[in-house]
Amino acid sequence: MSAAFAEWIRALAGAGIFCAMASALCPKGRAKQVLGLACGCVMLTALLSPLAAFAPEAWPQSLARWRGAAEEITSEAAEDSRRLERRVIESECAAYISDRASALGLEAEFSVEARWSDEGWWYPWACRADIPYDRGLSEAIEAGLGIAPERQSWREGP
């Protein structure tokens, strides 16, 4: 909580306590009505006191600072969104390869690396398999995902 906000809350609380005590001590009648009006003015003054510190010449600087902060937050959110999209694409492509492998009677773990295209989207670039090379699966990966055989990594040996 900022110091100015805390000070404003204290001013409101102090004005409220002062008005409540004055109202409790005041006798009924016309004096209490006048006091009620005066207490209303005191509370309104305390409520609007931050406006007294308002400096119109500082407003453009504040707006520029807020705009910069908003742009930074928007940029971070866009970057987070791109990272999440990449992970989803990689995960979905790995699941696709796993399905093709299962159809060929192969069980293995697969991972896919996605890259950002010049047109503005993620596409599967390379894949890794923890099984030895299988020609049928390699062809399915190339046909289904467009990952060329030279960008497919296979475990060495049986």
Report how far residue 88's alpha carbon sits from residue 57's, in angstroms, rounded to the nearest whole number: 48
The amino acid at residue 152 is Q
User: pLDDT tens for residues 84-100?
Assistant: 999 999 999 999 999 99
User: What number is the average pLDDT over the span 35-53?
Assistant: 85
Strand partners, 129: 110
User: pLDDT tens for residues 8-26?
Assistant: 888 889 889 988 988 888 8
CATH number of the 81-153 domain = 3.30.300
| pTM as predicted | 0.57
* DSSP H/E element including 82: helix 59-103
Domain limits of the chain? 3-75, 81-153
User: pLDDT tens for residues 125-144?
Assistant: 999 999 999 999 999 999 99
State the Cα angle at 152 between 154 and 120, rounded to 5°.
150
Euclidean distance between the first and the last CA atom of the chain, given in angstroms as a whole number: 64
